[in-house]
Amino acid sequence: MTVELLWWEGCPSHPEALAELERILREEGVPADVTRVEIEDDEQARRERFPGSPTIRIDGRDIVPPGEGEPYSLTCRVYRRRDGRISPVPDPEDVRDAVRRAA
Amino acid sequence: MIGIGDQAPEFELQDTDGELQAWETPAVVIFTCNHCPYALAWHDRLMQVARDYVDVHFYAINPNDAERYPRDSFEAMRERVRRDEGWPMPYMHDLTQEVARAYGAKTTPDVFVVDSGGALRYRGAPDADYEDEAQNASWLREALDAMLAGEEIERPETDPVGCSVKWRR
């Protein structure tokens, strides 16, 4: 399993996203290392199809696929928790589900 | 950039109704935007503070470069206020980013409290946790309560938390 965390420094949520991701990988007994990819400019954002920070991909698939037409740019992603709250990081259960699907 | 006790920069910006909003004190200046999850997470709490402190003038300012971030365009701001059926404070676009630079705004949100004499009394985050609605913008409310009571503000400065202001290139 390949696990990537794509992040941009203008958004402070990536340490929290990484900690959650690594915790869930441990809890699920998945020995994957997280590859961290820093996105530094708009051109790289387009090339990497980066919809915002943080973006987590497992085996190349975004764990929360962005909406159609979502631009690729240096921005912070807006996630929804399962209780409806807006959050800068994905709901841990969405991360867990994605890990389980890929395992 | 201003510090606690400094005179806060005055400004006059156009709100989403097209009206120029004049500077009045005491005031709360909130740099915020449409696209940042931190600003969105704190939004309802900040709106409620504005409803609760009717003797204070609240100003929401979007400082972001709308060319790079179309979701922060003036039209998108107008649409958001319309969708919300109005805000309890004017929402204004800092097109030149001069106001954000004068205040030294770093993030969205970034909150500044100004007393009736125009001096900066609080700067920082609304409260300790964007995820916890029960926090109820407590740092901002504490600052306002102390200021309005003529007392010293116990915690005049906190670290703003949010997305970096998107400066023009």
ipTM of the assembly? 0.87
Q: Among residues A18, A15, A13, which one has the least CA distance to residue A3?
A: A18
Cβ-Cβ pairs closer than 8 A, A with B, add up to: 41
Query: Averaged over A38-63, what is the pLDDT?
Result: 96
In the predicted structure, residue A69 carries a pLDDT above the cut 90 = no
Task: Judge if pTM exceeds 0.90.
Answer: yes
pLDDT of residue B110: 98
Torsion sign over Cα A94, A95, A97, A98: positive
How high is the mean pLDDT in each 10-residue block of chain B (169 residues)?
Answer: 95 96 96 96 98 98 94 96 97 97 98 98 98 96 98 97 93
Percent residues over pLDDT 70 in chain A: 100
**Are residues A76 and B35, on separate chains, in Cβ contact within 8 Å?**
yes
SS3 content of chain B, % helix, strand, coil (to 5): 30, 20, 50
Q: What is the pLDDT of residue B2?
A: 93
Task: Give Cβ neighbours of residue B163 (< 8 Å, ≥ 6 apart).
Answer: A10, A11, A12, A75, A76, B33, B35, B36, B37, B38, B39, B107, B108
Q: In this predicted structure, what is the pLDDT of residue A36?
A: 97
pLDDT at residue B99, rounded to an integer: 98
Comparing alpha-carbon positions, the chain B residue that sits nearest to A80 is B37
Residue A9 has pLDDT above 90, yes or no: yes
Tell me the nearest-neighbour CA distance from A96 into chain B, angstroms: 20
Residue A5 confidence (pLDDT) above 90: yes
